[in-house]
Amino acid sequence: MPKVHKVRKSSAGKEYICVKCRKPIVAGQEYFHWTKYRSATQQQHVDCGYPRRSQLSNSKMGPLWDEVDAFTPDGHESADDLQSALADIANVANDVAAEYSEAADNIESASGSGALTSEACRTVAEELESWASDLENWEPTADTEEGAKPVDDWLQEVREEASELVGNCPEYQG
Ligand SMILES: [Zn+2]
């Protein structure tokens, strides 16, 4: 991934437009800038947040990374709630898996060379589908025996379990 620089806009030089809010970056404002491979440099106000992983990469994984990064176990107040959040991530994982499968088909039919190899695409597609299925079928294993532990402790354990599973997002190895 490209290196992200944080600087303050001087009054000299050309004006930039923030890629997030589409407003100009004016003198005195802090902003991030980065340059993706074979792309124009992009600028974003520091106030508009650090660039998301999908902004820094052309990888098909981008949308999934954003889902994983946005997952906050503490924002969920029950195991049901966590289950539905994981199912949402699983949907995106399945979409990305489908894109890799399609890429593998294209590579195999074109028999050309590219940055992606069909084998690596097949592998990550399978891993994503399997992970998505784990997310969809996730159930807390934390001890729920009555009186075993206070509800807050239990929920915290359940959140950690969910978080660990989300953190195990497969990577493209090609
Ligand atoms: Zn902005």
Q: Look-up: residue for tokens 């915290």? A: 156
pLDDT at position 129 is 96
Q: For residues 77 and 155, is the Cβ–Cβ distance under 8 A? A: yes
Distance 98 CA to ligand 1 centre (A): 33
Ligand 1 centroid, distance to 36 Cα (angstroms): 19
CA of 60 to the centre of ligand 1 (A): 25
pLDDT tens per residue, range 4-31: 999 999 988 888 999 999 999 999 999 9
Cα distance between residue 8 and residue 6, in whole Å: 7
Question: Ligand 1 center to residue 30 CA distance, Å?
Answer: 10
DSSP labels for 43-90? Answer: EEEGGG-SPPHHHH---TTHHHHHHHHH--GGG--SHHHHHHHHHHHH
Structure tokens at 4: 């992200």
pLDDT at residue 113 greater than cutoff 80: no
Q: How far is the CA of 61 from the centre of ligand 1 (A)?
A: 24
How much is the pLDDT for 145?
Answer: 64
Domains in the chain: boundaries: 5-56, 62-167
Distance 121 CA to ligand 1 centre (A): 35
Residues 50-85 pLDDT 10s = 999 999 988 899 999 999 999 999 999 999 999 999
Q: 166 is written with which tokens?
A: 């989300």
Rounded Cα–Cα distance for residues 101 and 98 (Å): 5
Please report the pLDDT score of residue 118 as a whole number. 85
CA of 17 to the centre of ligand 1 (A): 8
Distance from Cα 173 to the centre of ligand 1, integer Å:
33
What pLDDT is stored for residue 124 in this prediction?
Answer: 93
Give the distance (Å) from ligand 1 centre to CA of residue 1. Answer: 21
Proportion of the chain in helix, strand, coil states, percent, rounded to 5: 50, 10, 40
